[in-house]
Structure 1
Amino acid sequence: MYRIGSISKIFTVYTLLVNYGWEHWNDCIMKYLPELQHADHNPSVAHVDWSKITIGDLASQLSGIGRDYSYGDLANLDIPWTDAGLPPLSPDDVPQCGGNASMPPCDRDGIVLLIHVAPHSYSSFLFLEYVHGLFRRAPVFAPQTTPVYSNTAFRMLGYIIQAIGGTRFDKLLQSSVLRPLNLTTTSYAIPAGEGSWVIPNGESGWYQDTGDETPTAGMYSSSSNLAKFGRDVLLSKQLSALETRRWMKPSSHTAGLFLSVGSPWEIMRTRSQISHGRTIDLYTKSGSIGQYNSLLVISQDYGVALSIMTAGLSSAAVIEVASEMVLQTLIPTLENRTLYEACKSLCGTYESPDRSKNSSLTVSMDTNGLQVERWINRGVDFLAVIQAYASQTGSPSIHMILQATNLEYPPNTQGQDVTSRRVAYRAIFEKDTSDSTGQHRIMDQSARQWTSVDTPMYGEIAYDDFVVHFDHSGIAFAIEPRVMRDTLYKVDGEAGSSPRFTHIQSPGF
Structure 2
Amino acid sequence: MLPTLTTSSLLLSCLNLGALAALNGHCPPLGPVLPAPTQPGKHEAIPAAATALRDILTQMTASYNNSAVAIGVKSIHETDLLFEYTYTPPNKDKRGVQEVDLDTVFRLGSLTKVFAPLALLKLKDRGVSLDDPITKYVPELRALKDQAREDSPVWTVEWDEVTLGSLASHMAGIPSDLITDIAPFGDLSAYGYPKANSSKFLGCSGFFGTPACNKTIFFEHFGERPPPQVPFSPQTVYSNIAFPILSFAVEAITNQPFADFVANEIWKPANMTRTFATKPDDALGFIPAKDIWWPADLGFEGPEGGYFSTITDLHRLGDAILQHKLLSPVQTRKWLKPVTATSSSGLLVGQPWEIFRAENVTSDGRLIELYTKTGDLISYHSLLVLIPDYDLVATLLVAGPGGAGEASGSAMTLMMSRLVQTLLPAVEKAGKAEARAAYAGRYVDRDTNSTITLSLDDDEPGFKISSYVMRGVDVPATDPGSTLPPATVPRLDPPMRYRLYPTSANSGRGQTSWRAVGTRATAADVEKQDGLFAWRMNSCITWAMMDRVTFEFGARDHFVFDVQQGGKVKGVEAVGYGVRMKRECK
Per the TM superposition, whether the score is higher than 0.5 is yes
Deviation at 1:351, TM superposition (A): 0.4
> Alpha carbons of 1:83 and 1:483: their partners in 2 closer, same or farther (altered >3 Å)?
closer
Q: Which of 122, 145, 159 is the aligned partner of 1:18?
A: 122
Does the C-alpha gap of structure 1 residues 99 and 179 become closer, same or farther in structure 2, counting only changes over 3 Å?
Answer: closer
Give the match for residue 85 of structure 2. Answer: none
Q: Deviations over 1:132-152 (max 9, x none)?
A: 321011111111113211111
Kept in 2: contact 1:479–1:488 (CA 8 A): yes
Which runs of structure 2 are paired with 1:177-256 in the superposition (5 Å)? Answer: 177-192=266-281, 195-256=283-344
8 Å Cα contact 1:362-1:375 kept in structure 2: yes
Is structure 2 residue 158 aligned with structure 1 residue 49? yes
Alignment-derived partner of residue 452 in structure 1 = 545
CA shift for structure 1 position 397: 7.4
Confirm or deny: 8 A CA contact 2:357 2:368 kept in the other structure. yes
- SS in structure 2 of the partner of residue 188 of structure 1: coil
Give the aligned partner of residue 106 of structure 2: 2
Q: 2:224 aligns with which of 136, 152, 155?
A: 136
Q: CA deviation at 1:271?
A: 2.3
Paired residues of 2:448 and 2:579 also in contact (CA < 8 A):
no
2:120–2:130 contact (8 Å) kept in structure 1: no
Q: What are the superposed Cα offsets for residues 341-372 of structure 1, whole Å, 9 maximum, x if unpaired?
A: 222211110001xx242211101123211222
* Alpha-carbon distance between aligned partners in 2 of 1:332 and 1:430, rounded to the nearest angstrom: 26
Change (3 A) 1:396 1:162: farther
Give the 3 Å change call, closer, same or farther, for CA 478–139 of structure 1 in structure 2: same
Contact 1:40 1:47 in 2 (8 A): yes
Question: Residue 3 of structure 1: CA displacement?
Answer: 0.5
Deviations 1:43-90 (A, max 9, x none): 33011111110111111111011210131x221222x32233322232
User: Equivalents in 2 of 1:429, 1:47: separation in Å?
Assistant: 53
The answer for the alignment partner of 1:108 in structure 2 is 215
Deviation at 1:99, TM superposition (A): 7.6
Q: Superposed, which structure 2 residues align to 1:348-427 within 5 Å?
A: 348-352=441-445, 355-365=446-456, 366-367=458-459, 368-386=461-479, 399-409=497-507, 421-427=510-516
Asked whether the equivalents of residues 363 and 425 of structure 2 are also in contact (C-alpha less than 8 Å), the reply is no
Contact 2:362 2:428 (C-alpha < 8 Å) held by counterparts: no
Aligned counterparts, 1:75-154, within 5 A: 75-78=183-186, 80-98=187-205, 100-109=207-216, 129-145=217-233, 146-154=235-243
Quick one: structure 1 residues 439 and 212, their matched pair in 2 at CA, closer, same or farther if it must change by over 3 Å?
same
Superposition TM-score, scaled by structure 1 size: 0.85
Shift of the 69–337 alpha-carbon distance from structure 1 to 2, 3 Å rule, reads same
Q: Which stretch shows the higher mean deviation, 368-377 or 477-486?
A: 368-377
Partner of 2:178: 69
The 8 Å contact of residues 184 and 196 in structure 2, kept in 1 or not, is answered as: no
Q: 2:370 aligns with which of 268, 277, 282?
A: 282
Higher share of residues assigned strand: 1
* Alpha-carbon contact 2:450-2:579 (below 8 Å) kept: no
Query: Counterparts of 2:188 and 2:502 in 1: how far apart (Å)?
Result: 60
**Structure 2 partner of 1:298:** 386
Q: Is the 8 A contact 1:203 1:290 kept in 2?
A: no
Distance 1:93 1:395 in 2: 76
The CA deviation at 1:6 is 0.6
Q: RMSD over aligned Cα, in angstroms?
A: 2.5
CA drift at 1:276: 5.3
8 Å CA contact retained: 1:9, 1:154 = yes
Secondary structure of the corresponding residue to residue 489 of structure 1: strand
**Most deviating of 476-485 and 401-410:** 401-410
Q: 2:265 matched to which residue of 1? A: 176
Specify the SS of the correspondent of 1:135. helix
Farther off after superposition, 160-169 or 274-283: 274-283
Change (3 A) 1:264 1:136: same
State the shift of 1:206 in Å.
1.1
Corresponding residue for residue 112 of structure 1: none
State the AA in 2 paired with 1:12: A
Aligned to 1:328: 421
Assess, with a 3 A threshold, how the Cα gap between structure 1 residues 204 and 274 changes in structure 2: closer, same or farther: farther
Q: 1:482 aligns with which of 575, 581, 584?
A: 575
- Number of paired residues? 460
After TM superposition, which residue ranges in structure 1, 4 or more long, deviate above 4 angstroms? 387-398
Counterpart amino acid of residue 441 in structure 1: F
Alpha-carbon distance in 1 for matches of 2:532, 2:290: 51
Other-structure match for 1:40: 145
Which letter does structure 1 place at the counterpart of 2:303?
Answer: P
Instruction: Return the letter of the residue paired with 1:456.
Output: V
- Matched to 2:203, the amino acid is Q
Amino acid at match of 1:45: V
Of 163-172 and 96-105, the range deviating more from structure 2: 96-105
Which position in structure 1 is the counterpart of 2:436? 343
CA distance in 1, matches of 2:329, 2:276: 26
Q: Is the 8 A contact 2:244 2:304 kept in 1?
A: yes
Corresponding residue number in structure 1 for 2:91: none
**CA distance in structure 1 between the aligned counterparts of 2:215 and 2:494, rounded to whole angstroms:** 63
Q: Distance in 1 between matches of 2:220 and 2:495?
A: 62
Q: Which residue of 2 aligns with 1:122?
A: none
Partner of 2:101 in structure 1? none
The one-letter amino acid of 1:224's match is T
SS in 1 for 2:241: helix
CA contact (8 A) 1:204 1:292 kept: no
Identify if the C-alpha distance between structure 1 residues 429 and 105 changes in structure 2 by more than 3 Å, giving closer, same or farther. farther
Q: 1:204, CA displacement in angstroms?
A: 4.3
Q: TM-score w.r.t. structure 2 length?
A: 0.74
Q: 1:90 to 1:76 in 2, by over 3 A?
A: closer
User: Partner amino acid for 1:37?
Assistant: R
Distance 1:396 1:9 in 2: 52
Query: What amino acid maps onto 2:327 in structure 1?
Result: L
SS at match of 1:372: strand
Q: 3-state SS of the aligned residue for 2:539? A: helix
Provide, for residues 197-231 of structure 1, a one-character-per-residue CA deviation record: whole Å limited to 9, x for no partner.
Answer: 11111224111111111111011110111122112
Distance in 2 between the 1:183 and 1:397 partners?
55
Take 2:343 and 2:580, find their aligned partners in 1: how far apart are those partners? 48
Q: Which amino acid aligns with 2:122?
A: V
